[in-house]
Amino acid sequence: MKGVLFDLDGVIADTSVYHFQAWRKLIKDHFNRDLPDELEKQTKGVSRKDSLTAILNYLDIKVSDADFQEMTDEKNKVFRELLASLTPQNILPGISDLISQFKQHDVKLSLASASLNGPYILEKLQLNSVFDAIADPSKVAAGKPAPDIFLAAASAINVDPKDCVGIEDSIAGIKAINKAGALSVGVGAKNELSEAKLLFPDTSALNYDQIESAWEEFK
């Protein structure tokens, strides 16, 4: 195992709840409609535009291109306001230890987040210096569940995807890792992340030795 491709929201920090909170506010303000909890998993890991498309499809609402653009900008404004108070205390349990283990074993760290706010969030968490690379989601052709961002993250650390593990909390992300040819490590519920090759119920359960031996079997 030479590289680890990290998702960010919901794996490194619990910012995935902020995303959905921001969508809920936007939809309430614009249409006075409430979003059901189950829509959250459809927007997890998915780009900002693809998330709004899924939400509007669910609500059966059509908007002009200009309004669509304005709505994604507005959602991002709300999300950035929620991020303003982010500190290293928002790093999820077990993640700092896991990062240290990867470092000790010379495994390179690359960020494979769909979020255009990735660099900003890592900065707020004081984690940017521990990452060897950050893949830029604005430069990839297709978002998760396509493998592109994971391929870009592996290439940014010069490691073959099959020598990498990817860590994800979203259905779209697990599919993307599998398609990229890396070992998929899921964080979350079994009924949701059934395609993950290795699954932990939450970040505090993530274990370097288990990840390493799963990769040895997978390679």
106 is catalytic: no
Of the residues 44, 108, 175, 197, which one makes contact with ligand BG6 according to CB under 6 A: 44
Closest CA to 15 of 58, 100, 76: 76
3-state SS assignment for residue 40: helix
If one asks whether residue 9 binds Mg ion (CB under 5 A), the answer comes out as yes
Of the residues 1, 4, 5, 19, which one makes contact with ligand BG6 according to CB under 6 A: 19
Of the residues 9, 148, 163, 168, which one makes contact with ligand BG6 according to CB under 6 A: 9
Whether the CB-CB separation of 185 and 167 falls below 8 Å is answered with yes
How distant, in Å, are the alpha carbons of 52, 92, 110, 160, 176 from that of 134? Answer: 24, 19, 6, 16, 17
If one asks whether residue 50 binds Mg ion (CB under 5 A), the answer comes out as no
Peptide bond into 161 cis (omega under 30): no
What's the rounded Cα separation, in Å, for the pair 117 and 40? 19
Nearer to ligand BG6, 99 or 172 (CB): 172
148 makes contact, choosing from ligand BG6, Mg ion, none, with CB < 5 to 8 Å by partner type, with: none
If one asks whether residue 117 binds ligand BG6 (CB under 6 A), the answer comes out as yes
Residues identified as active-site: 7, 9
Binding site for Mg ion (CB under 5 A): 7, 9-10, 169-170
